[in-house]
Chain A
Amino acid sequence: MAGLRTRKLNIVDRALGKGRQEVVSQSAFAHLFSEFVQYSQARSITASELERRLEDAGVGIGVRILELASLRDGKTRRETRMLGILQYVHTTIWKALFGKSADALEKVVENEDEFMISEQEPLVNQYISVPAHLPNLNCAAFAAGIIRGALESAGFPAAVQAHTVAADAGGSRTVFLIKFAPEVLARERSLASA
């Protein structure tokens, strides 16, 4: 190993725009993620513990993606309303991560504080073989963590849970249930009435 010298190009000097067009194979990502799941699973006793580990890993990524995507888009505005931040997650953040907008964004009619973002087949779920003794495993917990990280850092704390549901046309889709914290609703109400 060479002795520590000053880096040729410090991270703060690196051009941000460089990343926009760059891609790697989906396979590389899927294998990396799959291996991370195996690693995490070995350290988890229950399925929910594994999901929590995966979700926590996603949170830091959500925080970073939110800031990076906004800067890239040259935005000068922040989202201040629930619907605004949800749409931002559903389109821009999803695009930055998965190359496309999420399939759908819906409001849960019964509960004022709940919304759903659904995705036909999140790529994190490919290449994962569900271990036999953990039947209800859902690796979209990682994506749920990304959403939670983005929402929380934007000032909209929320619980995000991933569920797999049967799709109407057969097969399945993943639904991310987003439940905003009470303070978000309180603020939303006072902004709406202002």
Chain B
Amino acid sequence: MATGSYTFVIVAQGDTPVYGAEFLAAAKKDGQDTSHLNQLIIHAALDMVDDAVWTSNNMYLKTVDKFNELLISAYVTPGHARMMVLHDVRNEDGIRSFLHDVHELYVKVLLNPFHSAGAPIRSDTFDARVRALAKKYLT
């Protein structure tokens, strides 16, 4: 499996991300500029996702958009939390497994009565588990 770079974002209600993380291949660590651009690309892909969710009833939507050599894959939960991955290598199975496991983590966070559905996820443990999953499935 080729080592790629991945930017991961969870968008709950509306268009605001509630969680984001980057899993960059060592060679690719350019710093902030790329990060900002990645966020914009993901945001632009949301429209594609919002159409795709009604024509497909799969949670894993696979690749929904492209930007140059970058691919955007998406996974949408029954409650319409959109999990987006921006990646530069093909890795359908790895991404699917990653998103499936993050889905479960997300639901656990959501079950907390103190968590509002549209609020940012600030849990360090959540972040640590997501990073561990990225290590397992993506890089």
Q: Is B32 an interface residue (CB 8 A)?
A: no
- From A14, A66, A70, A187, contact of B108 by CB (8 A): A14
Known: A64-B110, A78-B53, A187-B54. A154 touches B105 (CB 8 A): no
A153 to B118, CA, bound (A): 11
A71 with B103: CB separation less than 8 A: yes
A11 with B53: CB separation less than 8 A: no
Residues of A within 8 A of B104 (CB): 16, 71
Residues of B within 8 A of A153 (CB): 78-80, 117
Residues of A within 8 A of B57 (CB): 77-80
- From A10, A12, A67, A77, contact of B79 by CB (8 A): A67
Interface residues on B, range: 20 to 34
A52 to B40, CA, bound (A): 39
B67-95 interface bits toward A, Cβ cutoff 8 Å, 1 = contact, 0 = none = 00000000011111100000000000000
Q: Using a Cβ–Cβ cut-off of 8 Å, how many residues does chain A contribute to the interface with B?
A: 26
**Chain A, residue nearest B112 (CB):** A11
Residues of A within 8 A of B105 (CB): 12
Known: A13-B125, A76-B59, A76-B60. A68 touches B107 (CB 8 A): yes
B108 with A79: CB separation less than 8 A: no
B99-134 interface bits toward A, Cβ cutoff 8 Å, 1 = contact, 0 = none = 000011101111111000100000101100100000
A51-91 interface bits toward B, Cβ cutoff 8 Å, 1 = contact, 0 = none = 00000000010011011101100011111100000000000
Q: Please list the residues of chain B having a beta carbon within 8 angstroms of any beta carbon in chain A.
A: 53-60, 76-81, 103-105, 107-113, 117, 123, 125-126, 129
Q: When A and B form their complex, which 6 residue pairs have the shortest distance between CB atoms, in order from nearest?
A: A153-B79, A10-B125, A70-B78, A77-B57, A67-B79, A80-B57
